[in-house]
Chains A and B, each alone.
Chain A
Amino acid sequence: MKNMLITRKTKSRLSSFIFPIVLLLLWQFISSAGYASSAVVPSPKKVLNTFQILFTQQTFFLNITASLERVMIGFLIGSLTGFLFGLLMGLSRTAEIIFAPSFHTVRQVPMIGWIPLIVMWFGMTELPRILIISIAAFYPITLNTFAGVRSVPREYLELASVYGYKRFKLIRRIILPAALPSIITGLTLSLGMSWAILMAAEIFIQTEFGIGTQIQMGRQRFNMPLVVTGILTVGLLGFVMTMMIEKLARIVDRGRAIGNEN
């Protein structure tokens, strides 16, 4: 029985490889049969070689660390302010009435649209890049913190008043723990947004180091392998970050479950 389960699981795993393998073969076939010039479609081997070369170069790692640093700073600023703003609007109905309409109006502007304006104000420096990433991180965490705070069950608040919890104790002991799943969803979304906008920030606002810079440079030099390796690097790093935050969410969730037992 157990054996059968394993084979079925492996089978489903294997079938998920069918399409990528077909694509890879097609890619190799197109590039080796000469249907497209190697300048436009570099062979998989060529891309691997480029990766090997990149790994020996310091620039590659400088690009990665620059991008990671940028995203972390922007994400921290955006998610912290967004969390506080969402908490404020969630806790106070008056604050919601005052701020929510303006917030939802400003939110309508696509993030990319801010780039020209921010660049005019702050120039082609690091500040506008970080600012645009913070804006991207700000919206999801604000919305999710607000929603999380507002969905705290009424009974919890009644219980809290029985215990005489007020203000900070109420927020720390009752509201935040109850809103935590929603807040973590917000953090995940914020990180994803930051990572997505990072590319726009690095491509539109030219900078010395960054994965976006590598991709853009590859385009300007018609160096397709450089572009493709850049795209793969971004995708891979994004994947690792998503996995990490999902793992974190699971750990926090487990902690909650254990806390509930006690």
Chain B
Amino acid sequence: MIKNLLHRFALRDKLLALIVPLLVLTLWQSVLSLHLFSDLILIPPLTLVSTFLELVGSGDLANNILASLQRVMVGFLLGGSLGFIFGVVTGLSPFMNRVLTPLIKALQQVPEFAWMPLIILLFGIDELAKVVFVSIGAFYPMLFNTYLGVSGVPKKYQELAWVFDYRRFRYLTKVIIPSALPSIITGIRLSLGLSWMFVVGAELFGADSGLGYMMTWGRQLFQIDIVMVGLIVIGAIGFAMNSLLLIIEKRLLSWRVSFDGRTL
């Protein structure tokens, strides 16, 4: 009975959530029929679907998605692993923390996009510059979250590790990393999200493939449908990556519930 009621409430909530999208669609369609704007500026919603199918059919969309994903992966691995190493080092050693952190904080004051022209001057306009740019985006969240996780390892664990005579490598892999894992995974999720945004930015800057390139191309041809499809696909992929990592986060950390079960 109660379950049934809850179910009905959830369904009502879902229906209510559809109000805004439906309203937007109706407004869109009615403005269209009033012919207030040129067809180039405001296209019928259905054109979006047919453009999407066309881009899927020709394989353009898949190729561009693959190109973007490839750049994200390389940049993320590069920046993320550097951020991880720096995070572990600054988290474990107060001295290194004092030496490195002020400089990193100072560099972080510079908006990432301001680096883009410099990166292009240094590395040229091809693949390398894009990967470097993406890795800058991936670096900071990974660094700060790893640092938080590593420096927040409870003293009890350290003492226990001494009792077991864990040293160096073993201490790192058996105590520090598992204990910092939740924070590290959050870092991975955030840093992948930023990588995805920066790859689009890098491609808007000039590329011959990728979703950002597809949007620039659509803009130059004045085909707003291509731009909008690009926008939706970018959003959907970003959403998918984030949700996937959230699921992994939950799976990987399921042991924590029975282990330290929010004793803090």
Contacts and interface: CB of A to CB of B under 8 A. Distances in A.
Q: Is the interface of A mostly helix, strand, loop or mixed?
A: helix
A98 B17 contact: yes
Interface stretch (A11-19, A175-183, A245-253): A11-19
B99 A215 contact: no
B257 interface: no
Contacts of A83: none
B231 A117 contact: yes
Contacts of B216: 116
A20 B99 CA distance: 9
Interface in B179-229: 196-198, 200-201, 204-205, 212, 215-216, 218-219, 222, 224, 227-228
A120 B16 contact: no
A99 B13 CA distance: 11
B41 interface: yes
Contacts of A200: 111, 113, 201
A231 B205 CA distance: 18
A102 B98 contact: no
Nearest to B203: A112
Contacts, number: 154
A235 B112 CA distance: 10
A117 B98 CA distance: 44
Interface in A97-112: 97-102, 105-106, 108-112
B122 A203 contact: no
A242 interface: yes
Nearest to B215: A116
B249 to A, nearest CB: 17
Contact of A110 (B106, B200, B224, B232): B200
B230 A113 contact: yes
A212 interface: yes
A110 B197 contact: yes
B224 A120 contact: yes
Contacts of B106: 20, 235, 239
Interface in B93-118: 95, 98-103, 106-107, 109-118
B114 A113 contact: no
A121 B117 contact: no
B201 A239 contact: no
A114 interface: yes
Contacts of B109: 235-236, 238-239, 242
B39 to A, nearest CB: 13
Nearest to B202: A112
Interface in A186-236: 195-200, 203-204, 211-212, 215-216, 218-219, 222, 224, 227-228, 230-232, 234-236
A110 B101 contact: no
A105 B101 CA distance: 35
B120 interface: yes
Contacts of A12: 98
B204 A115 contact: yes
A72 B218 CA distance: 31
A49 B57 CA distance: 56
A147 interface: no
Contacts of A197: 111, 113
A240 to B, nearest CB: 9
Contacts of A117: 215, 224, 227-228, 231
A216 B122 CA distance: 14
A16 B200 contact: no
B111 A238 contact: yes
A83 B99 CA distance: 39
A182 B99 CA distance: 31
7 contacts: A16-B99, A197-B111, A200-B113, A204-B205, A222-B121, A231-B115, A234-B110
Given A98-B19, A102-B17, A234-B111, 15 more contacts: A108-B236, A110-B200, A113-B197, A117-B215, A117-B224, A117-B228, A119-B219, A196-B111, A196-B112, A197-B111, A219-B117, A227-B117, A235-B106, A235-B110, A235-B114
6 closest pairs, A vs B, by CB? A110-B197, A219-B117, A109-B235, A235-B110, A199-B113, A196-B111
Interface of B: 13, 16-17, 19-21, 41, 95, 98-103, 106-107, 109-118, 120-122, 196-198, 200-201, 204-205, 212, 215-216, 218-219, 222, 224, 227-228, 230-232, 234-236, 238-239, 242
